[in-house]
Amino acid sequence: MTERAGPWRELTRRQRVVLAAVLGVAATALVCLAVGSPQPYGYVYDFYHLGVKVVYDEGRLPRADDCWVCSYPPVFYAAGWPFYALGHWSQDVLGIGNPVRVLSVLPILCGIVVVWFGARLLTVLGRRGWELVLGVALLASFPCLLISSYGVEADIVLAAVMVVFTYYCVRWWRYDERGIVPVVRLGALAGLAIATKYQGVAAVGAIGVLFAIKALRSSDRRRVLAMGLLCLVTALAVGGWKYADNQRRYGTPTYGNSVGERTLYLDRYELATVRPSALMRLWGPDPPEGTLTDQLVYRSVPTTLYAQAWTDMTFFSDPTRHGDLSMPYPARSMARSLVAAVLLAGLVPTALTVVGAVATVRDRRQWPLVVVAVISWAAYAWWVVGQPIWGLKTKYLLYLAPVYVVWALAGLDVVSRRAGRLPGAVVTGALWATIVIADVYVLQFALGGP
C-alpha cells in the first residue's frame, strides 16, 4: 500500500477508532472555542477582518495603507471575502448570522488542512499504525494550533499553505518526482505562501537550497537547474506581484515590515534565558497587570515562544495583556495547576524533538524538513530583531508544528532503540499524557476557566 492511498487506510480498525476519538476531542475543543469566544473574530493579535471588509465594501484588494492590517499580502483577504459575503447575505436576507463569525470558518478549514497534510507528511515518511495515530494526536491537540484555528488572521492560512508545501516538497524529494507538474506545483505553493505573509519567503528560500543540493548531486545539472528556474519563475508569477507593487508605491517590497532605515533591537531580547517563575506569575495569584510586552518574561525568547506554543500566555485570558484599551478579551479564570501541568508536559515532546532533529540531519529523506525549518527560523529571527515590540509570536512559525511532531517521533525512536523497550514505552505513555493534558487545557480555556 502506498502513501497516496491516504493515512486513514494505513490503520487497523482499532487504530481508526482511537484516532477518530482524538479528532473528535479536537473538534469538540474547536466548537467550545467558537462558542466561548468573546469576539466573533476569535482569538487574534491583529484584526485582519478589517482588510476583508475593504474587499467587500470597495470590491478590490486592499492597498497597504488602507488600514492598519492591510500591509500584509492579500491571499487572506481574497480567501476570506466569500465567507464574509456569505455572512452578509445570511444577515441581510435571512436575518441571522454575523459576517465576521462566518469568516471564522476559514481558519477552521485551515486548521483541518494542517492536521490532514500533517498526517500525510507522517505517512510519506514511513509512519504507520500506532506511530501515525500518536503523531496525528499530538498535532491535533497542540494548543497553539487549536486556538489559532479559531482566529481570523493570515497566520493560520499561511500555516495551511506551508504545510501543504512541505508535504509536496518531501514527496518530490523522497520519490525524486520528475516532470513539470511537481515542480510547477511546488512553485505555485511557494508563490501562494509569499502572497499570504512575508514569512512565506521561507518557501522560496527552501526551494532554492533544495534545487542547489540536487544540482550538486545530479549528473544532469542542466535539467535540474532548468527545473529550479521554472519553479522560481512560477513562485514569482503567483506571489511576486505584491512585492513589485509595494516597491512601486512605497519604495520597499515588504511595506509595513521594512520601512526606512532598519534598526536592530537586540537589547530587547534575551536568547539564552529561561524564566519559569516569571512565567507562572502571569497566572497569579495577584498577577502583574500590563501588556504582555511590558512583562520581564516576554524578553526571554525561549520562554515566550515555548509558553505561546502550549498556552495563551494570558494574552486572551487577562484583559490588560492585549494593549487595546477596549480590552476585547475579558478575564478568564485558569487553574494554575493545569497551566503548570501543560507547560511541564510539553517539555516531553519538545525534548524528543531536539533529539529527533539531531538524528534527522543524517536522514536524507528528511532534508527538506531541515531546510524548511532552518530557513524559517532564520527569516523569523531577521524579522524579530527589527521589531521594538510584539516580535515574539509562536503562531508566526505555526506551520512548523508537523515538523515538530515528525522530529518528536524520531526522538522517540532514538530513546526506544538506545534506552530499551521499557523506557520507550514510558516515554510513549508520557506523550499520550501530554495529549490528554493539552486537550483538557484547551477545553478549560475555551469554556472560560474552571
Q: Please report whether residue 426 resides in a domain.
A: no
Q: Please report whether residue 281 resides in a domain.
A: no
Range of the domain at 235: 155-260
Q: Which region holds residue 217: left if phi is over 0, alpha if psi is between -120 and 50, else beta?
A: alpha
Measuring CA to CA, how many Å separate 13 from each of 5, 8, 35? 16, 10, 32
State yes or no: pLDDT of 389 exceeds 90: no
State yes or no: pLDDT of 357 exceeds 50: yes
Q: Please report whether residue 174 resides in a domain.
A: yes
pLDDT of residue 21: 96
pLDDT-derived band of residue 92, with 50, 70 and 90 as boundaries?
Answer: confident
State yes or no: pLDDT of 192 exceeds 90: yes
Q: What is the pLDDT of residues 418-447, one digit of tens each?
A: 888 888 899 999 999 999 999 999 999 999
pLDDT of residue 237: 96
pLDDT of residue 8: 76
Q: Please report whether residue 198 resides in a domain.
A: yes
pLDDT-derived band of residue 326, with 50, 70 and 90 as boundaries?
Answer: confident
pLDDT-derived band of residue 260, with 50, 70 and 90 as boundaries?
Answer: very low
As a 3-state breakdown, the chain gives helix, strand, coil percent values, each rounded to 5, of: 70, 0, 30
Q: Please report whether residue 81 resides in a domain.
A: no
What is the DSSP secondary-structure string of 137-155? HHHHT-HHHHHHTTB-SHH
Q: Please report whether residue 267 resides in a domain.
A: no
Q: What is the pLDDT of residues 48-58, one digit of tens each?
A: 999 999 999 99
Residues 13, 121: contact at Cβ < 8 Å?
no
The partner residues of 270 in beta bridges, in order of sequence, read: 300
pLDDT of residue 252: 81
Q: Please report whether residue 450 resides in a domain.
A: no
Rg (Cα) of the chain, in Å, rounded?
Answer: 22
State yes or no: pLDDT of 2 exceeds 70: no
Question: Measured on CA atoms in the order 58, 59, 63, 67, is the torsion positive or negative?
Answer: positive
What are the b/e assignments for 134-169, b being 16+ CB within 10 Å?
A: bbbbbbbbbbbbbbbbbbbbbbbbbbbbbbbbbbbb
State yes or no: pLDDT of 238 exceeds 50: yes
The fraction of the chain above a pLDDT of 70, given in percent, is: 97
pLDDT of residue 1: 40
CA atoms within 13 A of residue 143's CA, in its CB half-sphere: 27
pLDDT of residue 119: 96
pLDDT-derived band of residue 347, with 50, 70 and 90 as boundaries?
Answer: very high
pLDDT of residue 18: 95
Residue 174: other Cβ atoms inside 10 A:
17
Q: Quick one: cell of 429? A: 505513555
pLDDT of residue 328: 92
Q: How far apart are CA 396 and CA 378, in angstroms?
A: 13
Residues 403, 316: contact at Cβ < 8 Å?
no
User: How many separate helices (H) and strands (E) can be counted in the chain?
Assistant: 18, 0
The fraction of the chain above a pLDDT of 90, given in percent, is: 76
Measuring CA to CA, how many Å separate 374 from each of 298, 360, 397? 23, 13, 11
Q: Please report whether residue 73 resides in a domain.
A: no
State yes or no: pLDDT of 235 exceeds 50: yes
Read off the pLDDT of each residue in 296-316 and give the average, rounded to a whole number: 97
The partner residues of 10 in beta bridges, in order of sequence, read: none
Residues 311, 343: contact at Cβ < 8 Å?
yes
Which residue shows C-alpha cell 515542480? 183
State yes or no: pLDDT of 222 exceeds 60: yes
Read off the pLDDT of each residue in 100-105 and give the average, rounded to a whole number: 96
pLDDT of residue 450: 60
Tell me what the pLDDT averaged over the chain comes to.
92
**Number of domains the chain contains:** 1
pLDDT-derived band of residue 259, with 50, 70 and 90 as boundaries?
Answer: very low
